[in-house]
Every structure is written in C-alpha cells, then in structure tokens.
Structure 1
Amino acid sequence: MLTLLLLRPGVAVPVERLADELWNGHPPPGARSTLHAYLSGLRRVLEPGRRAPYRLLTTRDDSYALEVPAGSLDVARLCALTDAGRAAGAVGAYERADELLGEARLLWRGEPFAELADHDAAEAERARLVEEYTSLREDAAEYRLAMGAHASAIGDLMSLVRAHPLRERPRAQLALALYRSGRQAEALQVLEAGRRLCAEELGLDPGPRLRDLQAAILRQDPTLSTPPRPPAPAPICRHRRPLVGGRAHHPRPHRDSPHRRR
C-alpha cells in the first residue's frame, strides 16, 4: 500500500483505484472496508499518536494522498543528479558530469518496486526507471570516453552489453574503449558478436553506428584516437585586482622582468 501511494507522491488516488491496484485488478468482496483498515494501520505507523487532520496520509473526498517532499525520495534525487550531470556534460565539464552521475548511481539499489513485481500499476514506472538508469550508465561511459578515461569505462560497458545485448550504443562505446586501450582485436570481436546477434535474433544488419565504427577500426581511422581533454571551465566570478586609493592597483614589474620598459 505504501509503495502504491509513493508511485504518485502528493497525488490523490481514489479508493476504487487503490483497491484495483492493490489486488491487481481483482479486488475481493469487501475490498473497500479492508482497504480503509490498511490505510488506518498505515497512518498509525506514519504518524503514531496523531489524530485528524493528518499531515502525511491525507484524505481528499474519497481519495488518499501521501504528502512527502519530492526531494526526500531517492527517485527525485536520482533524477536531479542525472539532469545536473548531463548539463555539465553538455558544456564540456566531463569530470564533473562523471562525478554527478556517479552520485546518482549510488542511489540505485536494485530493481525498483521489486515487491510489486506482479502488479501492473508499478510496471510502467519500473520500466521507466530501468531505462533511465541504463541511459545514465551510457552517458557516464560517454563522458569517460570524452575525457580519455576509456580503460575505466570498459568494465561497466561489458556489464551493460551483457544485460542489454541488442542496445547498440553501449556496444559501440565498448568497442571504442577497447580500441583506445590497444585491444583492437577484442573491439572487432564485440562488433562481430553484435552483428551475429542482430542477424540471428532479428534477421537484420546492425545499424550504421556499429557498421561505421567497424569500418573505422579496420582502417585505423585517426579520428578514433583519444580526444583532447576539454579545458577546465572558466570560473563564474573572476578575481578583480585590489583597489588602492580608489584606483586599480597594478603591480610594478620587477627590475629584472622582461616586461620592464627599456
């Protein structure tokens, strides 16, 4: 019951819908009374000793809402860190992006809503979060490749390819990381395995991303080499010269300085 309400924090969910979700489309006779008993018990746990009006599990007409600050949920913090990491990556601050996405990954504690594995109500949110987490890992690998940390990206990319063998982005990233680490033969094996899998499972050729990368590796295209590290982002506020007597103070050059007037 608590998890069903947390799927929509702050949203009033009608009793009929809660009953339908709780019993996965097959509420038993007397479901409404049983549901009210569950909700009363949940209130006693959330706000022991408190009487109406309640602050956490609130009632609106014939609906219930769990009032929790959005920022207090791991899901909200994960999304915020992911957005911040992607924003940093968009301006070339790859190390900061990698750091933020690393913090986001620490919030992932296995499959979300595992206790509702058989409930249709949680399936869409579970699928959305799994996709978001997979994309987060792909983005983190992209930033590591961009800053030349290709070797440190290989392990996680191997795990991604095993878990999602038909996703072309992590397969291409893994092949590129291997190539940049001096493992050209393994890079080509990864791409060939993807080609065979597409043919056997889907009857298709791999997409242009994998085909172009394979061709570039075979001819040892110089554009595949490690990109130059991006410059450190400029500080937002630059230090100004100190003022002396209301005027900007410029240090006088040392008499041996090459900038001293001759």
Structure 2
Amino acid sequence: MTARLARWLGNGCHVHVKLYVCKYTHYTGENPNVGQLTIPALNFGMLMGWQSPMTPILQSPTGPAPEPISDETISWMAAITFMPPIFCGFMVGDLADRWGRKITTLLTALMLVLSWTITLFSLRPWALISSRAVAGLACAGCYVVIPLYLKEIASDNIRGALGSLFILSQNLGYLVVYVAGDLLSFDTVLWLCTAVPAIFLVAFIAMPETPVFLVKQGKIKEARAALAWLRNTTTDDKDLEEAIQQLEREEEYARSMKKATWKSI
C-alpha cells in the first residue's frame, strides 16, 4: 500500500509540475514590449496629479507664471480635462476601426506630448486651460483605444494582468508626480512629464498593428507576422496558424451580426 501511494503521489506531482512548466513557458513567450502600452496611462496619471503639487507654485507671486494664477483658472484646468472625452470618445473608437489601433494610439501619445509642450512654453491662463483641454483628447484615447489594443495583442493568460497593470500605472503616475513635485524644481518636473510620452511615441513606432485589426482588413499575412512578433515565435508555428484561423472565424461571425444604429439606441 505504501509503495502504491508513493507511486500515485509521484505521478500526480509529475503531472502538476509538467502543466506548470508548459504554462510558464507560454507566458514567457510573450514579447516584453507589450508592457509599454501602460505608459500613456502612467503619463495621464502624472498629468492629473501634476495640478495638485503645482497649484501653490502657480499661485505664488514669486512663481514661474507671468502673474499668479487665479482660483477660477485652476478650477477650469481641473474641469475641462473631462469635457472632450464626452464628445470625442466615440470618435476615437471610430478612428481605431478606420485607421487602426496603432495609429490611434500614436495620436493619443502625440496629444499627451502636445499638452505638456503647451505648458512648457507658456504658463498664462489661456495656455494652461488649453493644455488641459488637449489632455482631455488624450484621455479619450487612453480609455478607449489602449485597452482595446491590449486586449487584442495579449494572450489569454496575461490579458487580465495587463488590464490591471493599466489601472495601476495611472495610480503610479499620481505617486510619481507627487514625489517629483516635492523633490524637483518646477521646470524639471515639466520636462520629466513631457519626456515620458515623447519616449513612448518613439518606441511605439516599432510595435505592430493588432492581428485582430489586420484580419478585419483582410491582411492575413501581415496578421500572422504581427502575431509571431508578439508571441516571440516564427510565422510557421502551428499554434500561430490555429490562432489566425480562430481570428478569421470570429471576424466572419462579427460580420454576420447586424450593426447597431442610432435608431436602436
């Protein structure tokens, strides 16, 4: 009995270890560049948190602004960021379907860079408010196209982790700018906040379009190459071919569904 039990436990342990190694290997096969997609959320968190430590400096008579910023301007800066997404959120989704997820993500990063650049060159009330309005356009992109991009390029076993990391990155952005605002000068913080999306903008050019969008466009060869890059494998991988076929079936099903209209809403 003891010998049987030992053999049974040994077989059971062998099976569990084998399954774990398979899953771990699949996980490490993901291209590490996928993680950079959380950087826009990090920078948007920095943008939202920047106003809190910088308001006393902007309102100081000896601050960097040409004149002390009024409470009314500060209120507009806080409020206007969330106005553009109300009207532009659906437009970002439409752009992602027309131009692709990659181009729309690049535009989102460009809006973040433009927002910080306006603040770099002018601290007058109109510039500060305009900067936050442009940031509102980036907000729409951050919460529409980037989660979509993450969902379409991540494998099943890390999709949830990346989604959680997206929200965590925004909260981390708050923390970074609070700490930086206490330790660094006003100008240094601004340059730091501008550098983050600028570096992402350059680095993201190397990222591929999502396989899902490429399949929608009928670009099967490009979709296979993009998926191979994302999975760190070759285009002749059997698992890769199965994944492409699954995407084609999902696209056929999506096209067979009736499209929603404004009338149905």
Higher strand share: 1
- TM-score normalised over the length of structure 1: 0.34
Structure number with bigger Rg: 1
More helix by proportion, 1 or 2? 2
* Relative contact order higher in (CA < 8 Å, ≥ 6 apart): 2
Scaled by the length of structure 2, what TM-score is found? 0.34
